[in-house]
């Protein structure tokens, strides 16, 4: 295998070893513990040696019967839940959250609801080109973020603006990105909702499905090498689990014992493809065991269950140096995006039932109200305030000029090649020649 001198020197300096044939053993002392063949002299007899084989991974027993492993289990993997649909705790064996944290979680979930409504309407009015909502998945967004620390690195799919809001990304910054103005962190190069923030340890969203999953494993392995008290977390949908990147990432994480949390939002649909057309396994959670990854299935519409599961997964990932897979069962109440009409492939009454009977925001509100932490007046004030903030943010973002044309072409080459400069000049000339075909606030 060819390794560049730069990469070799990088690892040499970080691991402080002299060239030999066993450097990888220094990275993870437990990796090869179960692959050492047992000495035949330890068997008591030839009969013992014929009963088992010491094989990488552990001792395997021989049997005379031919047994195939069943493709299904008699019982499905159960789903962890803390609150029932009416917001009542099923037991008291869960990590309690303080009033401050609970109210903040609820406020952020409501923020997502109102943000989705207003930005969806803005897209329908032609003011932004695209949008995707988180309706029905607010608990996964916010509760998972609340269970992490700011040092934990987030690799989102495209339906997780909640962790950004939780970490302090403002509604104005959200609007700047969706309107692709000069204050957008991505310099207007990305579609709306493709947020990113180095400040908040939130990698930029990419539309390509599941490509962020192996990236999260690499980042987690880096955190482990640097002995950081942190993990990475990556979000993806059930459709993402059908991609090769998902499978490679789980295997990579398990073998390298990377502190990463895989959080699958199994909302039943990969755009218009139902899970029944994606896999025959018991959801996504069972795939973890096949790769040697600890896994759990959680009620994705229960904020307290998500909070507890992610907090426990984070502790395991860091202290035990292991990956953890969380399958959150939920439902995408909204359309996949503004380019989709989900009523073409699923019944409207099904969507309405999930919106009303399984709403994660309403369920969590019932719980904090029972604790005396929330009331109708606080609800009204919050929703009115958020609506005004969002409308103001949109008005501001909409009237700010677009990034300079040069930003389309920079940040790739130190010295741009001549053909790229020619393209830049051609774009500027085209805008000057046809100004009515371009926004007024774009400068050539």
What are the catalytic residues?
121, 207, 336-337
Q: For residue 217, which of 113, 87, 324, 126 has the smallest C-alpha distance? A: 324
Residues 6+ apart with CB under 8 A from 410: 416
CA distances from 189 to 27, 184, 388, 397 (A): 38, 9, 28, 16
Q: Give 3-state DSSP helix, strand, coil % of the chain, rounded to 5.
A: 45, 10, 45
153-155 β-sheet, strand order: 153-155, 232-237, 260-266, 324-329, 294-299
Structure tokens that stand for 336 in this block: 């996949």
Q: For residue 137, which of 360, 383, 368, 357 has the smallest C-alpha distance? A: 360
DSSP state of 189: -
Strands (E), 82-231: 153-155
Structure tokens that stand for 14 in this block: 């970080």
Strands (E), 208-315: 232-237, 260-266, 269-270, 273-274, 294-299
Structure tokens that stand for 84 in this block: 């029932």
Strands (E), 174-310: 232-237, 260-266, 269-270, 273-274, 294-299
Instruction: Report the 3 state secondary structure along 376-400.
Output: HHHHHHHHHHHHHHHHHHHHHHHCC
Strands (E), 156-289: 232-237, 260-266, 269-270, 273-274
What per-residue string of b and e applies to 329-347 under the rule 16 or more CB within 10 Å gives b? bbbbbbbbbbeeebeeeee
Residues 6+ apart with CB under 8 A from 154: 148, 160, 163, 200, 201, 202, 203, 232, 233, 234, 235
| Cα distance between residue 314 and residue 231, in whole Å | 7
> Contact 164/172 with Cβ under 8 angstroms?
no
């Amino acid at each position: 295998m060819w390794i560049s001198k730069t990469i070799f020197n990088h690892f040499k300096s970080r691991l402080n070893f002299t060239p030999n044939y066993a450097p990888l053993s220094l990275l993870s002392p437990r990796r090869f513990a179960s692959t050492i063949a047992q000495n035949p002299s330890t068997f008591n007899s030839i009969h013992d040696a014929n009963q088992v084989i010491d094989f990488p991974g552990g001792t395997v027993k021989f049997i005379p019967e031919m047994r195939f492993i069943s493709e299904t289990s008699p019982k499905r993997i159960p789903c962890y839940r803390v609150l029932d649909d009416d917001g009542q705790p099923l037991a008291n064996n869960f990590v309690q959250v303080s009033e401050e944290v609970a109210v903040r979680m609820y406020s952020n979930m409501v923020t997502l609801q109102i943000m989705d409504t207003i930005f969806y309407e803005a897209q329908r009015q032609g003011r932004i080109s695209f949008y995707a909502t988180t309706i029905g998945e607010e608990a996964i967004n916010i509760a998972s973020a609340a269970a992490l620390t700011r040092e934990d690195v987030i690799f989102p799919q495209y339906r997780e603006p909640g962790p950004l809001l939780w970490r302090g990304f403002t509604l104005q910054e959200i609007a700047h990105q969706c309107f692709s103005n000069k204050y957008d962190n991505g310099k207007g190069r990305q579609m709306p909702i493709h947020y990113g923030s180095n400040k908040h340890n939130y990698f930029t969203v990419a539309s390509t499905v599941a490509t962020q999953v192996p990236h999260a494993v690499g980042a987690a392995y880096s955190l482990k090498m640097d002995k950081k008290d942190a993990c990475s977390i990556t979000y993806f949908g059930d459709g993402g689990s059908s991609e090769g990147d998902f499978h490679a990432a789980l295997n990579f994480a398990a073998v390298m014992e990377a502190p990463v949390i895989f959080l699958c939002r199994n909302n039943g649909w990969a755009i218009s493809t139902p899970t029944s057309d994606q896999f025959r396994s018991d959801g996504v959670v069972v795939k973890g065991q096949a790769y040697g990854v600890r896994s759990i299935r959680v009620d994705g519409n229960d904020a307290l269950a998500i909070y507890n599961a992610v907090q426990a997964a984070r502790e395991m990932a860091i202290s035990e140096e292991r990956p953890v897979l969380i399958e959150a069962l939920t439902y995408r109440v909204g359309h996949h995006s503004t380019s989709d009409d989900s009523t073409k492939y699923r019944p409207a009454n099904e969507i309405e039932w999930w919106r009303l009977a399984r709403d994660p925001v309403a369920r969590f509100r019932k719980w904090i109200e029972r604790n005396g932490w929330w009331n109708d007046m606080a609800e009204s004030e919050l929703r009115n305030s958020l609506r005004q903030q969002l409308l103001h943010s949109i008005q501001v973002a909409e009237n700010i000029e677009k990034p300079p044309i040069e930003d389309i072409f920079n940040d790739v080459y130190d010295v741009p090649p001549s053909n790229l400069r020619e393209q830049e000049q051609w774009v500027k000339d085209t805008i000057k020649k046809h100004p009515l075909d371009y926004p007024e606030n774009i400068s050539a």
